[in-house]
Amino acid sequence: MTNPLETLANNPFEIAKQAAEQIREATGVASHDIALTLGSGWAKAADLIGETVATVPAKDIVGFSAPVVEGHVASIRSIKLPSGKHALVLGARTHYYEGHGVRRVVHGVRTAAATGAKIMILTNGCGGIKETWTPGTPVLISDHINLTADSPLEGATFIDLTDLYSKRLREIARSVDGSLDEGIYAQFRGPHYETPAEVQMVKHMGGHLVGMSTALEAIAAREAGMEILGFSLMTNLAAGVQKTPLSHAEVLEAGREAEPRISALLASIIEKL
Protein backbone atom coordinates (compact mmCIF):
# COMPACT_ATOMS: atom_id res chain seq x y z
CA MET A 1 0.00 0.00 0.00
CA THR A 2 1.24 3.50 -0.79
CA ASN A 3 1.37 6.14 1.89
CA PRO A 4 -0.85 9.07 0.79
CA LEU A 5 1.61 11.60 2.23
CA GLU A 6 4.43 10.09 0.27
CA THR A 7 2.32 10.20 -2.86
CA LEU A 8 1.70 13.89 -2.23
CA ALA A 9 5.38 14.62 -1.63
CA ASN A 10 6.28 12.77 -4.79
CA ASN A 11 3.87 14.60 -7.05
CA PRO A 12 5.66 17.56 -8.66
CA PHE A 13 2.34 19.21 -9.59
CA GLU A 14 1.14 19.06 -5.96
CA ILE A 15 4.37 20.67 -4.80
CA ALA A 16 4.00 23.38 -7.46
CA LYS A 17 0.44 23.99 -6.22
CA GLN A 18 1.71 24.35 -2.67
CA ALA A 19 4.44 26.73 -3.84
CA ALA A 20 1.86 28.82 -5.71
CA GLU A 21 -0.29 28.97 -2.57
CA GLN A 22 2.72 30.17 -0.55
CA ILE A 23 3.41 32.82 -3.19
CA ARG A 24 -0.24 33.94 -3.01
CA GLU A 25 0.05 34.31 0.76
CA ALA A 26 3.46 35.99 0.71
CA THR A 27 2.59 38.49 -2.05
CA GLY A 28 -1.11 39.03 -1.42
CA VAL A 29 -1.64 38.63 -5.17
CA ALA A 30 -4.38 36.11 -5.86
CA SER A 31 -3.37 35.34 -9.42
CA HIS A 32 -0.52 36.17 -11.79
CA ASP A 33 -0.91 36.64 -15.54
CA ILE A 34 2.64 36.50 -16.84
CA ALA A 35 5.76 34.82 -15.47
CA LEU A 36 9.39 35.51 -16.27
CA THR A 37 12.56 33.59 -15.58
CA LEU A 38 15.43 36.02 -15.75
CA GLY A 39 18.73 34.44 -16.75
CA SER A 40 22.23 35.93 -17.00
CA GLY A 41 22.09 39.48 -18.28
CA TRP A 42 18.32 39.96 -17.88
CA ALA A 43 17.87 40.66 -14.16
CA LYS A 44 17.42 44.43 -14.53
CA ALA A 45 14.20 43.90 -16.46
CA ALA A 46 12.48 43.26 -13.13
CA ASP A 47 13.11 46.89 -12.13
CA LEU A 48 11.71 48.28 -15.38
CA ILE A 49 8.47 46.47 -16.04
CA GLY A 50 6.31 47.87 -13.26
CA GLU A 51 5.84 48.39 -9.57
CA THR A 52 7.15 45.69 -7.25
CA VAL A 53 4.34 44.54 -4.98
CA ALA A 54 6.36 42.00 -2.99
CA THR A 55 9.75 40.30 -2.98
CA VAL A 56 10.01 36.85 -1.47
CA PRO A 57 13.27 34.98 -0.85
CA ALA A 58 13.09 31.96 -3.12
CA LYS A 59 14.28 29.68 -0.34
CA ASP A 60 11.07 30.46 1.60
CA ILE A 61 8.95 28.83 -1.10
CA VAL A 62 8.70 25.07 -1.22
CA GLY A 63 10.82 23.41 -3.89
CA PHE A 64 13.06 26.39 -4.61
CA SER A 65 16.71 26.53 -3.61
CA ALA A 66 19.37 29.22 -3.53
CA PRO A 67 21.11 29.66 -6.90
CA VAL A 68 24.63 28.39 -7.35
CA VAL A 69 25.78 30.65 -10.17
CA GLU A 70 27.27 34.04 -9.48
CA GLY A 71 25.13 36.68 -11.15
CA HIS A 72 21.84 34.90 -10.52
CA VAL A 73 19.37 36.41 -8.05
CA ALA A 74 17.56 34.32 -5.45
CA SER A 75 14.23 36.04 -5.14
CA ILE A 76 10.69 35.76 -6.42
CA ARG A 77 9.01 39.07 -7.15
CA SER A 78 5.44 40.02 -7.82
CA ILE A 79 5.20 43.07 -10.06
CA LYS A 80 2.15 45.08 -11.07
CA LEU A 81 2.43 46.10 -14.71
CA PRO A 82 1.14 49.46 -16.01
CA SER A 83 -1.65 47.47 -17.69
CA GLY A 84 -2.83 46.29 -14.26
CA LYS A 85 -1.70 42.74 -14.95
CA HIS A 86 0.50 40.90 -12.47
CA ALA A 87 3.88 39.46 -13.38
CA LEU A 88 5.73 36.87 -11.37
CA VAL A 89 9.49 37.18 -11.73
CA LEU A 90 11.48 34.09 -10.91
CA GLY A 91 15.04 35.14 -10.16
CA ALA A 92 16.02 31.67 -9.09
CA ARG A 93 16.54 29.08 -11.78
CA THR A 94 17.68 25.56 -11.01
CA HIS A 95 19.92 24.29 -13.77
CA TYR A 96 20.02 20.71 -14.96
CA TYR A 97 23.76 20.55 -14.30
CA GLU A 98 23.15 21.02 -10.57
CA GLY A 99 22.18 17.38 -10.53
CA HIS A 100 18.92 17.68 -8.55
CA GLY A 101 16.94 16.13 -11.35
CA VAL A 102 14.65 17.54 -13.98
CA ARG A 103 11.65 17.94 -11.64
CA ARG A 104 13.55 20.58 -9.72
CA VAL A 105 14.60 22.26 -12.98
CA VAL A 106 10.99 22.86 -14.03
CA HIS A 107 9.50 23.51 -10.59
CA GLY A 108 9.58 27.28 -11.19
CA VAL A 109 7.66 26.95 -14.45
CA ARG A 110 5.07 24.63 -12.90
CA THR A 111 4.71 26.97 -9.94
CA ALA A 112 4.22 29.91 -12.31
CA ALA A 113 1.47 28.00 -14.10
CA ALA A 114 -0.15 27.16 -10.75
CA THR A 115 -0.23 30.89 -9.86
CA GLY A 116 -2.36 31.40 -12.97
CA ALA A 117 0.28 32.60 -15.45
CA LYS A 118 -0.71 32.06 -19.07
CA ILE A 119 2.50 33.44 -20.62
CA MET A 120 5.96 32.21 -19.66
CA ILE A 121 8.92 34.34 -20.66
CA LEU A 122 12.14 32.34 -20.51
CA THR A 123 15.38 34.28 -20.81
CA ASN A 124 18.96 33.09 -20.73
CA GLY A 125 22.55 33.90 -21.52
CA CYS A 126 24.10 31.63 -24.12
CA GLY A 127 26.72 31.11 -26.78
CA GLY A 128 26.08 32.03 -30.40
CA ILE A 129 27.05 30.24 -33.58
CA LYS A 130 26.16 32.85 -36.23
CA GLU A 131 29.30 34.85 -36.86
CA THR A 132 27.30 37.96 -37.67
CA TRP A 133 26.22 38.15 -34.00
CA THR A 134 28.40 39.98 -31.53
CA PRO A 135 28.40 39.46 -27.74
CA GLY A 136 25.51 41.40 -26.28
CA THR A 137 23.05 40.57 -29.07
CA PRO A 138 19.54 39.57 -27.91
CA VAL A 139 18.03 36.76 -30.01
CA LEU A 140 14.46 35.44 -30.02
CA ILE A 141 14.28 31.67 -29.69
CA SER A 142 12.29 30.21 -32.58
CA ASP A 143 12.69 26.53 -31.68
CA HIS A 144 15.01 24.26 -29.74
CA ILE A 145 17.06 21.08 -29.94
CA ASN A 146 17.08 19.27 -26.61
CA LEU A 147 20.47 17.59 -26.20
CA THR A 148 20.04 16.68 -22.55
CA ALA A 149 18.56 13.30 -23.41
CA ASP A 150 16.02 14.02 -20.69
CA SER A 151 12.47 15.34 -20.39
CA PRO A 152 10.46 16.95 -17.61
CA LEU A 153 7.50 14.81 -18.63
CA GLU A 154 6.94 11.47 -16.97
CA GLY A 155 4.71 8.72 -18.20
CA ALA A 156 2.61 8.70 -21.33
CA THR A 157 2.44 12.49 -21.74
CA PHE A 158 2.74 12.95 -25.49
CA ILE A 159 2.86 16.71 -25.71
CA ASP A 160 2.95 18.47 -29.09
CA LEU A 161 5.88 20.89 -29.41
CA THR A 162 4.96 22.52 -32.72
CA ASP A 163 5.16 26.31 -32.33
CA LEU A 164 6.60 25.79 -28.83
CA TYR A 165 8.04 29.31 -28.91
CA SER A 166 4.93 31.25 -29.80
CA LYS A 167 4.96 32.91 -33.20
CA ARG A 168 2.41 35.41 -31.91
CA LEU A 169 4.70 36.50 -29.07
CA ARG A 170 7.74 36.67 -31.36
CA GLU A 171 5.78 38.95 -33.67
CA ILE A 172 4.90 41.21 -30.76
CA ALA A 173 8.60 41.31 -29.83
CA ARG A 174 9.56 42.26 -33.36
CA SER A 175 6.90 44.97 -33.44
CA VAL A 176 8.93 46.60 -30.65
CA ASP A 177 12.33 46.03 -32.27
CA GLY A 178 12.22 45.08 -35.94
CA SER A 179 15.94 44.29 -35.94
CA LEU A 180 15.55 41.33 -33.54
CA ASP A 181 16.98 38.17 -35.05
CA GLU A 182 15.83 34.69 -34.10
CA GLY A 183 17.55 31.35 -33.74
CA ILE A 184 17.29 27.73 -32.72
CA TYR A 185 18.53 27.05 -29.20
CA ALA A 186 20.37 23.84 -28.40
CA GLN A 187 20.36 22.87 -24.74
CA PHE A 188 23.37 20.89 -23.54
CA ARG A 189 23.47 19.49 -20.04
CA GLY A 190 26.67 21.40 -19.15
CA PRO A 191 28.22 22.62 -16.92
CA HIS A 192 31.25 22.48 -19.19
CA TYR A 193 31.02 24.55 -22.34
CA GLU A 194 30.97 22.67 -25.64
CA THR A 195 33.95 21.44 -27.57
CA PRO A 196 34.40 23.13 -30.95
CA ALA A 197 33.34 19.82 -32.55
CA GLU A 198 30.07 19.82 -30.58
CA VAL A 199 29.43 23.39 -31.68
CA GLN A 200 29.95 22.32 -35.31
CA MET A 201 27.55 19.42 -34.72
CA VAL A 202 24.87 21.85 -33.56
CA LYS A 203 25.57 24.09 -36.54
CA HIS A 204 25.08 21.14 -38.92
CA MET A 205 21.89 20.19 -37.09
CA GLY A 206 20.55 23.66 -37.76
CA GLY A 207 21.10 25.21 -34.34
CA HIS A 208 22.25 28.78 -33.74
CA LEU A 209 22.50 29.14 -29.97
CA VAL A 210 24.05 26.88 -27.32
CA GLY A 211 23.10 26.97 -23.67
CA MET A 212 22.34 25.04 -20.52
CA SER A 213 18.72 25.91 -19.74
CA THR A 214 15.36 26.84 -21.28
CA ALA A 215 14.51 23.82 -23.46
CA LEU A 216 13.43 21.58 -20.57
CA GLU A 217 11.59 24.52 -18.99
CA ALA A 218 9.81 25.30 -22.26
CA ILE A 219 8.58 21.70 -22.51
CA ALA A 220 7.16 21.87 -18.99
CA ALA A 221 5.59 25.26 -19.72
CA ARG A 222 3.89 23.84 -22.80
CA GLU A 223 2.65 20.85 -20.82
CA ALA A 224 1.17 23.36 -18.36
CA GLY A 225 -0.61 25.08 -21.24
CA MET A 226 1.36 28.32 -21.22
CA GLU A 227 2.34 30.39 -24.22
CA ILE A 228 6.12 30.78 -24.36
CA LEU A 229 8.42 33.63 -25.29
CA GLY A 230 12.08 32.58 -25.35
CA PHE A 231 14.78 35.19 -25.35
CA SER A 232 18.54 34.60 -25.41
CA LEU A 233 21.30 37.04 -24.74
CA MET A 234 24.23 35.92 -26.83
CA THR A 235 27.11 36.73 -24.48
CA ASN A 236 29.85 34.93 -26.36
CA LEU A 237 30.50 33.25 -29.67
CA ALA A 238 30.44 29.48 -29.05
CA ALA A 239 33.68 27.55 -28.57
CA GLY A 240 35.73 27.36 -31.74
CA VAL A 241 33.64 30.04 -33.45
CA GLN A 242 35.29 32.39 -31.01
CA LYS A 243 39.02 31.77 -31.37
CA THR A 244 39.89 32.46 -27.74
CA PRO A 245 38.90 30.20 -24.81
CA LEU A 246 35.56 30.90 -23.09
CA SER A 247 35.65 32.44 -19.64
CA HIS A 248 32.74 32.77 -17.23
CA ALA A 249 34.07 36.18 -16.18
CA GLU A 250 33.88 37.45 -19.78
CA VAL A 251 30.42 36.01 -20.16
CA LEU A 252 29.28 37.90 -17.04
CA GLU A 253 30.92 41.09 -18.27
CA ALA A 254 29.12 40.88 -21.64
CA GLY A 255 25.89 40.31 -19.73
CA ARG A 256 26.46 43.32 -17.50
CA GLU A 257 27.26 45.51 -20.48
CA ALA A 258 24.13 44.48 -22.39
CA GLU A 259 21.81 44.34 -19.37
CA PRO A 260 20.36 47.88 -19.38
CA ARG A 261 19.64 47.76 -23.12
CA ILE A 262 18.07 44.30 -23.31
CA SER A 263 16.18 44.77 -20.05
CA ALA A 264 14.58 47.93 -21.43
CA LEU A 265 13.72 46.06 -24.62
CA LEU A 266 12.08 43.25 -22.66
CA ALA A 267 10.14 45.76 -20.58
CA SER A 268 8.79 47.40 -23.75
CA ILE A 269 7.75 44.03 -25.10
CA ILE A 270 5.99 43.10 -21.86
CA GLU A 271 4.00 46.32 -22.06
CA LYS A 272 2.41 44.98 -25.24
CA LEU A 273 1.42 41.55 -23.91
**Beta-carbon contacts of residue 138 (< 8 Å; ≥ 6 apart):** 180, 231, 232, 233, 234, 258, 262, 265
* Contact between 202 and ligand 8IG per CB under 6 A: no
Residue from the set 23, 212, 226, 266 that interacts with ligand 8IG by CB under 6 A: 212
Three-class SS of residue 166? coil
* In contact, 184 and 145? CB cutoff 8 Å: yes
Instruction: Name the residue nearer to ligand 8IG (CB basis): 136 or 211.
Output: 211
Residues in binding contact with ligand 8IG, number by CB under 6 A: 16
**Least distance (Å) from ligand 8IG to the CB of residue 243?**
14
- Which CB atom, from 113 or from 141, has the smaller least distance to ligand 8IG? 141
194 flagged as catalytic: yes
d(CA 270, CA 265): 9
Q: In one letter, which amino acid is 129?
A: I
Residue 84 sits at φ, ψ, to 5 deg, of 95, -10
Handedness of CA 25, 29, 30, 31 (dihedral sign): negative
By CB under 6 A, name the one of 138, 193, 223, 267 that touches ligand 8IG: 193
CA angle 20, 22, 23 (to 5 degrees): 65
Contacting residue, 37, 142, 235, 263, with ligand 8IG by CB under 6 A: 235
| Residue 190 or 196 having the CB closest to ligand 8IG | 190
C-beta neighbour count of 271 within 10 angstroms:
15
Check if the beta carbon of residue 91 is closer than 8 Å to that of residue 39.
Answer: no
Closest CA to 251 of 159, 135, 172, 150: 135
Q: x-or-dash pattern for ligand 8IG, window 114-153, by CB under 6 A? A: -----------xxx--------------------------
Of the candidate spans 12-20, 133-141, 205-213, 219-227, the one that interacts with ligand 8IG by CB under 6 A turns out to be 205-213
Binding piece for ligand 8IG, criterion CB under 6 A, among 49-57, 98-106, 207-215, 260-268: 207-215
Which of 194, 217, 223, 227 is labelled catalytic? 194
C-alpha span between 118 and 105 (Å, rounded): 19
Give the Cα separation of 157 and 238 in Å (integer).
34
Query: Does residue 258 interact with ligand 8IG by CB under 6 A?
Result: no
* Residues at the site binding ligand 8IG, with contacts judged by CB under 6 A: 40, 125-127, 188, 190, 193-194, 210-212, 235-236, 238, 246, 251
Catalytic residue numbers, as ranges: 194
